């Protein structure tokens, strides 16, 4: 099945009061897990080519693998570049990605605006929506001064106005990875303030390890795309480890068990976000 319009599925999530899941693949089996989960849950999905897989196999091979597996399925999917640096963004556009995240959050604010604006100009010329990030997201259990990490509401308003981005990833207490200690509670009031200021769908990266009640609160406040990776990788790893713990077993058997557990974990995320069943709903709308 060909890719679906990323703007359409996020717009439908926004109007429907739910969120779309965005998940990273790492090899053939994890890509298959995400696609099969989307089929099983009848959910749209963002298949994210990100920071882990690109150094492992290169952007072109990662994209081609993802596209091949997804096209052979009945899943409704978007192939999305996650945390793309400047040069990688333009390579992704040439390859055929239909959704781009340009990550200039590490740059000074004015430079982030300038470079993001240019990415938006080029991507929009090809009909590709752009996600950007404002604020800093620490790694799990990193000691930080959260006041300097949160997305500033006034800066978010100006950033969106001057860049024309389609989706904005924000920092409101999330981390990359799953914290071992008690996680920082999400600043839901800040989510509401940012949503009111920018008027575009918001994204939360680092959704692994966040309590379900906070996920639901963030969704009600204006987040309509959640990025999660660590929880799913841990599910995949548990399947491999449990098979190998039984003694000398085939690698393929271990990978198959990891894939099945990742499918189950991804379906649970889709149910939590409210996007499960929405792909079927989209097909019914098309048929009418």
74 part of the active site: no
Range 6-287: architecture per CATH: Alpha-Beta Barrel (3.20)
Q: What is the pLDDT of residue 266?
A: 98
Q: What is the pLDDT of residue 288?
A: 39
pLDDT digits (tens, 9 = 90+) for 169-195: 999 987 766 665 666 789 999 999 999
Give DSSP secondary structure letters for the chain: -PPPPHHHHHHHHHHHT--EEEEE--SHHHHHHHHHHHHHHT-EEEEEE-TTHHHHH-HHHHHHHHHHHHHTS--EEEEEEEEE-HHHHHHHHHHT-SEEEE--TTS-HHHHHHHHHHHHHHHHHTT--EEEEES--PBTT----GGGTSPPHHHHHHHHHHH--SEEEE-SS--BS--SSPPPPP-HHHHHHHHHHH-S-EEES--TT--HHHHHHHHHHTEEEEEE-HHHHHHHHHHHHHHHTTSS--HHHHHHHHHHHHHHHHHHHHHHHT-TTHHHHHHHHHH-
Q: What is the pLDDT along the chain (288 residues), one digit of tens a residue?
A: 778 999 999 999 999 999 999 999 999 999 999 999 999 999 999 999 998 999 999 999 999 999 999 999 999 999 999 999 999 999 999 999 999 999 998 899 999 999 999 999 999 999 999 999 998 777 666 677 767 779 999 999 999 999 999 999 999 987 766 665 666 789 999 999 999 999 999 999 988 889 999 999 999 999 999 999 999 999 999 999 999 999 988 999 999 999 999 999 999 999 999 999 999 655 544 443
Q: What is the pLDDT of residue 137?
A: 74
Q: What is the pLDDT of residue 14?
A: 96
Q: Please tell me whether 206 is known to bind a ligand.
A: yes
pTM higher than 0.85, yes or no? yes
Q: Write down the domain spans for the chain.
A: 6-287
Q: Please tell me whether 15 is known to bind a ligand.
A: no
Mean pLDDT score of the chain, rounded to an integer? 92
Q: What is the pLDDT of residue 275?
A: 97
- Name the active-site residue from 82, 166, 187, 231: 82
């Amino acid at each position: 099945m060909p890719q679906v319009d990323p703007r359409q599925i996020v717009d439908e999530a926004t109007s429907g009061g739910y969120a779309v899941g965005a998940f990273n693949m790492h090899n053939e089996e994890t890509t298959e897990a995400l696609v099969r989960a989307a089929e099983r849950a009848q959910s749209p999905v963002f298949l994210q080519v990100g920071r882990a897989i690109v150094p492992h196999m290169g952007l072109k091979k990662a994209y081609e693998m993802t596209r091949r597996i997804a096209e052979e399925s009945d899943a409704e999917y978007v192939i999305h570049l996650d945390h793309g640096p400047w040069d990688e963004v333009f390579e992704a556009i040439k390859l055929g990605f239909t959704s781009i995240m340009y990550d200039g959050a590490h740059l000074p604010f004015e430079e982030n605006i300038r470079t993001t604006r240019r990415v938006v100009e080029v991507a929009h010329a090809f009909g590709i929506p752009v996600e950007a990030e404002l604020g800093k997201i620490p790694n799990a259990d990193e000691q930080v001064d959260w006041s300097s990490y949160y997305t500033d509401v006034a800066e978010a308003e100006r950033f969106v106005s001057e860049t024309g981005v389609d989706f904005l990833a924000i920092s409101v207490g999330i981390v990359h990875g799953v914290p071992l200690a008690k996680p920082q509670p999400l600043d839901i009031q800040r989510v509401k303030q940012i949503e009111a200021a920018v008027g575009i769908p918001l994204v939360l990266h680092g959704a692994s390890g966040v309590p379900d009640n906070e996920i639901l609160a963030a969704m009600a406040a204006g987040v309509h795309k959640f990025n999660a990776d660590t929880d799913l990788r841990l599910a995949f790893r548990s399947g491999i480890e449990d098979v190998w713990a039984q003694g000398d077993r085939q690698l393929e058997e271990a990978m198959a068990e990891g894939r099945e557990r990742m499918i189950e974990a991804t379906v649970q995320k889709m149910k939590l976000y409210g996007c499960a069943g929405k792909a079927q709903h989209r097909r019914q709308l098309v048929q009418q």
